[in-house]
């Protein structure tokens, strides 16, 4: 089978996408459907058990890649880990400014208080405003991640100190975006 090399490719390569943060969800979905139609295990029901197992593993790989590429947070974590040859970022580097981290956490506490207030006293107008605010923040973080990844990837020969600053910024953005996604999930349950 000539497709063994697909297991050595990163998710962007598998989907035929440029290795960058900014992606078109419609294109990701289109590539996913194309890959699944070509490699879905049901298409190989009459093949050997080895081939069936191979295409089951390939289908699982395609599904995993799809889940990661469709989620801005997971895509950022995956791309960062791939570029830095490191593990996925769950928390910011300790070098991130405590004052900016503190301000962010205070804002998060305030938003959580608003959500708790809405749970006890539902108000559709305030709920809609809060959903819009959080959606706008998510979009701002995605735009900032796009910019930071472009900076990181644009110059391979940039100074190590500058590269470290950009890496820390990406770590911070990924970390903080997680909070907004959690808030968004909480709002969906109100």
> Is residue 177 included in any domain, yes or no?
yes
Q: Domain of 39?
A: 2-70
Give the CATH number for residue 105: 1.20.58
| Count of structural domains, the chain | 2
pLDDT tens-place values along the chain, 190 residues long: 444 578 889 999 999 999 999 999 999 999 999 999 999 888 888 889 998 899 999 999 999 999 999 999 999 999 999 998 876 655 555 545 566 778 899 999 999 999 999 999 999 999 999 999 999 999 999 999 999 999 998 866 578 888 889 999 999 999 999 999 999 999 998 8
82-90, long-range: CB < 8 A, 24+ apart: 82/10, 82/19, 83/149, 83/152, 83/153, 84/167, 89/170, 89/171, 89/174, 89/175, 90/175, 90/178
Same domain? For 62 and 102 the reply is no
> Is residue 18 included in any domain, yes or no?
yes
Same domain? For 111 and 157 the reply is yes
- The string of DSSP letters for 30-95 reads HHHHHHHHHH-GGGGTTS-HHHHHHHHHHHHHHHHHHHHHHSHHHHHHHHHHHHHTSPPP-S--TT
Same domain? For 132 and 168 the reply is yes
């Amino acid at each position: 089978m000539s497709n063994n090399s697909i297991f050595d490719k990163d998710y962007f390569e598998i989907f035929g996408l440029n290795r960058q943060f900014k992606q078109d969800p419609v294109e990701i979905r289109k590539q996913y459907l194309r890959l699944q139609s070509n490699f879905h295990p049901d298409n190989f029901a009459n093949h050997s058990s080895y081939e069936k197992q191979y295409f089951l593993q390939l289908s699982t790989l395609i599904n995993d890649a799809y889940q990661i590429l469709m989620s801005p947070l997971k895509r950022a974590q995956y791309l960062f880990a791939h570029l830095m040859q490191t593990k996925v970022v769950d928390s910011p580097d300790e070098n991130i400014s405590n004052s900016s981290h503190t301000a962010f956490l205070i804002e998060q506490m305030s938003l959580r208080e608003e959500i708790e207030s809405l749970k006890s006293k539902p108000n559709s107008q305030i709920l809609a405003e809060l959903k819009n605010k959080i959606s706008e923040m998510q979009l701002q973080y995605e735009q900032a991640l796009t910019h930071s990844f472009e900076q990181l990837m644009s110059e391979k020969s940039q100074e190590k100190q500058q590269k470290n600053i950009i890496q820390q910024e990406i770590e911070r953005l990924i970390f903080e975006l997680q909070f907004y996604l959690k808030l968004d999930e909480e709002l969906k349950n109100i």
